[in-house]
Amino acid sequence: MSFRQLKHQARSLFRNRLFWIVALIVMVVLISGNVILIFERAPDREEFKSPADGIWWAVVTLTTVGYGDHFPVTGAGRALGVVLMFSSIILVSLFTATVSSIFVARKIQEGKGLQRATFENHVLVCGWNGRALRTLDRLNSQGDASEVVLINLMAPEDMEPVIRSYSNLEIRFIRGDFTRDEILDQARIRDAKYAILLPDRSDPTTVSSPDQRTILAAHVIRSINPEIQVFAHILDEEHAMDLKRAEVDGVMISDCFAGELLAEYVASPGTTQAVEQLADSRTLPNVRRMEIPDDFVGSESMDYFIHLKKEFNQLLLGYVSEVPGVGLEDEISGGNREILDLIKRKVVEAGIKTRTKSRVEINVNPPSDYVIREGDHAIVVCSD
C-alpha cells in the first residue's frame, strides 16, 4: 500500500464520527479507571489494587451492568461513579445511534444502487432487458449460492423485487452506466470472475445502440481486468468481429440460427421443437454440465454412457474441458535465467501478452472408446 493510500485512509478515519465516539469512550474509561485508584486504593481493600481493577469498574459502570464486585466507598469515588453513570447515558446513546444510522444509510444506499459491492469471484450482469430474468433464472437453478452484481440504469424500486426473488443468489444492485470505470470499480470489477453483457434497454434516453454499448463495455472491462471471463449478447451479427477484437470469451447473437431452425420445421419436423426444449432451462428435459465421478476417469465413454442412462435416466451428449493458456515461460524454459528475464521484460514492454487465454474444448458425441480424462465434465440431457 502506497503512502498516498495510507494518508487517504487516515484522513477518512479522522473524519469518521464513529471513530471519535469510540475514541471518547476509550478515553473516559482509561481516565476514570485510573482516577478511581487515587480515591479508592487502600491497604485494607481488595477491590482496587491495579489499573486493571479500575478499568474493569469503569467499563462495568459505563455500560450500567453493575456487577458489584468493585464499588467505591469514598465520597470522591462515588461522585466519580455518578459522573460516569450520567456520561454513559450520553456516550452509549451516541454510539448506538451512530451504529444504527450507519446500517440504515447503508441499506438505503443498497436500495438505490449506490452501495459498493463487497463480493469476490462474483458475476457481473451488465445491462437489462426483457429477457434478463432468464439469465438470473439459470444462475439460480444451479443450486449453489452465487454472488451476482447487477449494473444498469433501472429504477431502484423496479430492481428491488428482482433482488428478493432468487433464493440461491446473493444479489447487489449498482445503478449506473456499466461502460464507466467508476461504476465498474464500485462493482469490484477487479475481483469479479465473470461478466455477462446484455443488450441494454434500461435507459430509454440512451442514443447509442445496445450493441455499441456492449462493445464499449467489453473493451473497458477487459482493460481493467484482463483475467475476467466476458460473455456478450449482441443483436446484430456484423458486430461480432468487434467483440472478438475485445477478446470476449463467448458471443451470443440474436436470431443467429433462426434461418436454419425455421427450415427444420419443414425439412425435419420436430427437430426445432426438440432444440428449443433442450435449450430452455425452465422445462425438462434440458442440457446441463455435470461433474464426472473420479471412478470413471480413465474409463471408456460407453461405460459412463450406460451408467448415466441406467442409474439416472440421463443422456450423455459429450464432454467439455478447459484447456489452460500457454505462457511465454513455458515455451522458453531452460537456459540462462538472466537472458530469459530480459526477453520476458522486453516482450512486456512491447505490449505483447506473455500468456494465451484458456479455452473451452467441446467433444460432442465422442466415440465409444473415448477415454475420459481428468478435468473432463459431462454434457448431459437431464430429465429431473
Q: What is the pLDDT of residue 301?
A: 95
| Bridge pairing between strands 146-152 and 377-382 | unpaired
| 245 pLDDT higher than 70 | yes
| 3 pLDDT higher than 60 | no
Q: What is the pLDDT of residue 141?
A: 81
Is-above-0.85 flag for pTM?
A: no
- pLDDT (mean) for 295-299: 94
Q: What is the pLDDT of residue 95?
A: 83
Q: What is the pLDDT of residue 117?
A: 81
Q: What is the pLDDT of residue 267?
A: 92
- pLDDT (mean) for 2-19: 57
- pLDDT (mean) for 100-120: 67
pLDDT band at 19 (very low <50, low <70, confident <90, very high): confident
Q: What is the pLDDT of residue 286?
A: 84
With beta carbons less than 8 A apart as the criterion, state whether 43 and 36 touch.
Answer: no
Q: What is the pLDDT of residue 104?
A: 65
| 332 pLDDT higher than 60 | no
Measured distance CA(269)–CA(258) in Å, rounded: 15
- pLDDT (mean) for 23-31: 89
| 346 pLDDT higher than 90 | no
Measured distance CA(252)–CA(201) in Å, rounded: 17
Q: Which residues pair with residue 147 across a beta bridge?
A: 170
Burial degree of 58 (CB within 10 A; 0-12, 13-18, 19+): buried
Fold entry, domain 284-382: Alpha-Beta Plaits (3.30.70)
Q: Which residue has the higher pLDDT, 86 or 107?
A: 86
Measured distance CA(130)–CA(134) in Å, rounded: 9
Q: How many residues does the chain have?
A: 384
> Where is mean pLDDT largest: 60-74, 135-149, 309-323?
309-323
Q: What is the pLDDT of residue 307?
A: 95
The enclosing H or E element of 51 equals helix 51-62
Q: What is the pLDDT of residue 377?
A: 95
Q: What percent of the chain has pLDDT over 70?
A: 82
User: Which one-letter amino acid corresponds to residue 215?
Assistant: I
- pLDDT (mean) for 254-279: 88
CATH architecture assigned to 3-112:
Orthogonal Bundle (1.10)
Q: What is the pLDDT of residue 278?
A: 85
With beta carbons less than 8 A apart as the criterion, state whether 362 and 291 touch.
Answer: no
* CATH class of the 123-256 domain in this structure: alpha beta
DSSP, collapsed to helix, strand or coil, labels residue 293 as coil
Indicate the range of 75-84, 109-118, 169-178, 366-375 predicted with least confidence: 109-118
How does pLDDT run across 194-210, given as a tens digit for each residue? Answer: 999 999 998 888 777 89
How does pLDDT run across 32-83, given as a tens digit for each residue? Answer: 888 888 888 777 677 788 888 888 888 888 887 666 677 788 888 889 888 8
Q: What is the pLDDT of residue 198?
A: 95
- pLDDT (mean) for 166-187: 91
Our CA dihedral for 91, 95, 101, 103, rounded to 10 degrees, sits at -170
| 330 pLDDT higher than 80 | no
Measured distance CA(198)–CA(187) in Å, rounded: 16
> Which residue ranges make up each domain of the chain?
3-112, 123-256, 284-382
Task: List CB contacts of 40: < 8 A, sequence separation 6 or more.
Answer: 47, 48, 72, 73, 74, 77
Q: What is the pLDDT of residue 118?
A: 84
Q: What is the pLDDT of residue 234?
A: 93
Nearest in space to 63 (alpha carbons), one of 31, 102, 96, 23: 96
Q: What is the pLDDT of residue 163?
A: 87
Q: What percent of the chain has pLDDT over 90?
A: 36
| 171 pLDDT higher than 70 | yes
Q: What is the pLDDT of residue 43?
A: 74
With beta carbons less than 8 A apart as the criterion, state whether 250 and 320 touch.
Answer: no
Radius of gyration of the chain (CA): 31
Q: What is the DSSP letter of 65?
A: -
Q: What is the pLDDT of residue 275?
A: 87
